[in-house]
A and B are shown apart, each in its own frame.
Chain A
Amino acid sequence: MNFELTDVQREIQRMTREFAARELIPNARRWDEEHAFPTEAVKQLGELGLMGVAVPTEQGGAGLDNVCYAIAMEEISRGCASTGVIMSVNNSLYCDPIAKFGTDAQKEQFLAPFASGQKLGCFGLTEPEAGSDAAAQQTTAVRDGDHYVINGSKNWITNGPKADAIVLFTMTDKSKGNRGITAFIVPTDTKGFIRAEPDRKMGITGAHSCTMFFEDMRVPAANILGKEGEGFKVAMSTLDGGRIGIAAQALGIARAAFEEAVRYSGERKTFGKPIREHQAIQFMIADMATELDAGRLLVHQAATLKDKGVRHSVESAMAKLYCSEMSNRVTNKALQIHGGMGYSKEMDVERHLRDARITEIYEGTSEIQRIVISANVLKD
């Protein structure tokens, strides 16, 4: 048993930390205020291999392990949570299922250019009437010769406004519930693919999401990802990995807020001394530090299991649940330590709190994670 990082993992940490300090931290506040997509930073992430961290090199990725991915996600999200989720969606929700379930032809066309960062991917599962309850989806795909005709809509699709392709979930047989779901890979320039304006969000404003509509959109049967009727399995397996990414994002956001709070507590004076000399502040800092470490251990545990090819649904759910809630607690305490300054847009902490909030919702709400964990606890 050991908790050390390998040399490669340490190198990825150093590299992504430097990148975040140089390219992300100086710009993150502006991107947030202007709701600006970090186009140049995303391009650079691709050049660094970070848009397909755990994708094999022959398929355009960096060929690293999932602990490296988690480390990179933490560091990038510490710099900018919007950039973090753009990266996470492309890695975990788009590339990962194609690497796992895709045919060789699909990988060539739809994986390599995306894992290398030349193109951007997104993941379409959620609908206006189907969030946690994926089987309630109403987007349909009907066979017509060697094509399927897709009608319906998806919403909250992160990267949707910019994406070149989508892993899209549809109902091919409504009578079968979860077993009637089928996944497709669809280029976004397909006729009948219509995108609405980007959503206006509370946080992660640099990461654009939108609603999309499919109107008699014809997609070749060869674009089915996995098998017909296996879409639910594809989705759940994908989210097991995605949750590691979001957990690491939440961790990175929390660490950004924590580090700012530690720094501020040494500068700000009250009652004749730096506020960090007051026990109330020390206790908040100690709790934040402890929870950050606990969160990181849970994330690396899940990533380590994924690397071993072991089932990790529960560990991913625990990492995601803990880190997302922890991130909200930690960013909130960081704001409290900053006092009025924390509420001001002159500092970054209010952004961290807004950015943290979504991590409890997307890629499985906290409530869904608890269902996953408790089902496992009660299983044996």
Chain B
Amino acid sequence: MDLELNDTQRLIRDTARNFAREKVAPTARQRDREELFPVELLREMAGLGLMGVNLPAAYGGAEAGTVAYALALMEIAEACASTAVTMAVTNMCGELINATGNDAQRERYLPRLTSGEALCGAFALSESHAGSDAGAMRTTAVRKGDTWVINGSKQWISHGSHAGIFVVWARTSGEGNRGLSTFLVEAGAPGLVVGRHEEKMGLRGSSTVALTFEDLEVPADQLLGVQGEGFKYAMMALNGGRIGIGSQAVGVARAALAASVQYAKDRQAFGQPIGEFGAIREFLANMKLDLSAAELLVLRAAALKEQKQPFAREASMAKLFASEMSERVCDRAIQIHGGYGYIDEFPVERLYRDARVQQIYEGTSEIQRLVIARETFRAFAD
């Protein structure tokens, strides 16, 4: 085991940290209150290499690896989870295009994601009745000459309102997990209808929308990778995505712990700072431990992915543990803050609301547990 960062990793982390502290954190509360999408921040982040951390330099990426990506995302999430999720999903879309697309697709789409020209990339898999069970999707793509005609709808599409590029799943044949294909769709394409912005509990600086496809015509050369391999691509993307959400969860929890430590020093009760009481110290110790375990799980999964080793089990563990940890830590942070934890003058109630979705998106906790159990039984069968 070697926990030292290399120069690239340190540089990316420090770049993200400085930007997060100077630019992202000061406006996080306002974004949450007013549901503001961070257009300017995202463009600046692209300029810093944060929208394609693990993409080749030839396409404008930072080519810094998955560990650097996780470290950067933790920093952004510590400042603002909404900004972080937009970064995470865009990086995930870019990585999927890079892994499965042809050269023409890479050249055409990746520079737009990494440069910020497309602002962000959206991942359109979920439907109103098809979340964990992606194979139940009803959106179809039918071949017509040189185009695919897509009909159907998608739900819970993060920043679908602002994305320049959409990765869209649709059924091209068969049923269940077989016969799904993946398409690249550009914003403004006729037939791509962006629905109303969802009112959410948290992540209010990330605009979540439904998408409707009404005879959306997609040129055949925008089919990503191989027809019918869409389910495999979705799972591939989500395995990496889970490292992203795990990192986000770590960042949010770090913010909650930092706020709690500060509050425990400042707040007086019974004649002394509440940080002197054993009960508060027990909370803080548990939070620190929980967070440290999650950091290690996330960074291990990232290191395995970076070394091109199997990492599905480890990514699921990282996502499961970190997301549940994040809620536990935020919950204790509110408790330490007392009444102040329940109002938005302090960050912790926002952190708690932001943390909650991490157990749901990019594979619920329940799906992660099924993955881990399946991988465990498989390992013991060998």
| Residues of A in contact with B (beta carbons under 8 Å apart) | 1-5, 67, 259, 262-263, 266, 276, 279, 282-283, 285-287, 289-290, 293-295, 297-298, 300-301, 304, 315, 318, 321-322, 369-371, 373-378
C-beta contact mask, B334-377 vs A, less than 8 Å → 1, else 0? 00000000000000000000000000000000101111111011
Stretch among B106-114, B147-155, B257-265 lining the A interface? B257-265
Contact B321 A263 (CB under 8 A): no
Which residue of chain A is the closest to B287 with respect to CB atoms? Answer: A377
Q: Which residues of B contact A301 (CB under 8 A)?
A: 1, 3, 296
Interface size range of chain B in the complex: 35 or more
Known interface pairs A1-B303, A262-B377, A286-B320; A293-B297 also in contact (CB < 8 Å): yes
| Residues of B in contact with A (beta carbons under 8 Å apart) | 1-6, 9, 67, 257, 261, 264-265, 275, 281-282, 284-289, 292-294, 296-297, 299-300, 303-304, 307, 314, 317, 320-321, 366, 368-374, 376-377, 380
Contact A321 B376 (CB under 8 A): no
8 additional contacts (CB under 8 A) given A370-B281, A378-B284: A1-B2, A1-B5, A1-B303, A2-B307, A3-B299, A4-B1, A377-B261, A377-B284
Q: How far is the CA of A253 from the CA of B284 in the complex (A)?
A: 27
Contact A290 B2 (CB under 8 A): no
Contact B264 A378 (CB under 8 A): yes
Contact A297 B288 (CB under 8 A): no
Contact B289 A373 (CB under 8 A): yes
Q: Which residues of B contact A67 (CB under 8 A)?
A: 1
Give the residue of B264, B286, B293 whose beta carbon is less than 8 angstroms from that of A294.
B293
Q: Which residues of B contact A263 (CB under 8 A)?
A: 380
Give the residue of A304, A321, A377 whose beta carbon is less than 8 angstroms from that of B2.
A304
Contact B293 A3 (CB under 8 A): no
Query: How far does the Cβ of A262 sit from chain B's closest Cβ, in whole Å?
Result: 5
18 sample A-B contacts, Cβ–Cβ < 8 Å, listed by A number? A259-B380, A279-B370, A282-B369, A282-B370, A286-B370, A286-B372, A286-B376, A295-B293, A298-B293, A298-B296, A301-B1, A315-B292, A318-B293, A373-B284, A373-B289, A377-B284, A377-B285, A377-B287
Q: Which residues of B contact A294 (CB under 8 A)?
A: 293-294, 296-297, 317, 321
Q: How far is the CA of A242 from the CA of B156 in the complex (A)?
A: 50
The majority secondary structure among interface residues of chain B is helix
Contact A318 B292 (CB under 8 A): yes
Contact A321 B289 (CB under 8 A): yes
Known interface pairs A294-B293, A318-B292, A374-B282; A289-B317 also in contact (CB < 8 Å): yes
Q: How far is the CA of A305 from the CA of B373 in the complex (A)?
A: 32
Which residue of chain A is the closest to B317 with respect to CB atoms? Answer: A290
Q: Which residues of A contact B296 (CB under 8 A)?
A: 294, 297-298, 301
Give the residue of A285, A304, A321, A369 whose beta carbon is less than 8 angstroms from that of B373.
A285
Contact B284 A1 (CB under 8 A): no
Q: Which residues of B contact A285 (CB under 8 A)?
A: 372-373, 376-377
Q: Which residues of A contact B288 (CB under 8 A)?
A: 318, 373-374, 376-377
Q: Which residues of B contact A298 (CB under 8 A)?
A: 292-293, 296
Q: How far is the CA of A88 from the CA of B120 in the complex (A)?
A: 54
Q: How far is the CA of A301 from the CA of B293 in the complex (A)?
A: 10
Which residue of chain A is the closest to B376 with respect to CB atoms? Answer: A289
Which residue of chain B is the closest to A326 with respect to CB atoms? Answer: B293
Give the residue of A282, A297, A321 whose beta carbon is less than 8 angstroms from that of B297.
A297
Contact B372 A290 (CB under 8 A): yes
Give the residue of A2, A290, A321, A373 whose beta carbon is less than 8 angstroms from that of B1.
A2
Query: How far does the Cβ of A375 sit from chain B's closest Cβ, in whole Å?
Result: 8
Q: Which residues of A contact B264 (CB under 8 A)?
A: 378
Query: How far does the Cβ of B374 sit from chain A's closest Cβ, in whole Å?
Result: 8
Which residue of chain A is the closest to B294 with respect to CB atoms? Answer: A294
Contact B380 A262 (CB under 8 A): yes
Give the residue of A293, A315, A377 whose beta carbon is less than 8 angstroms from that of B317.
A293
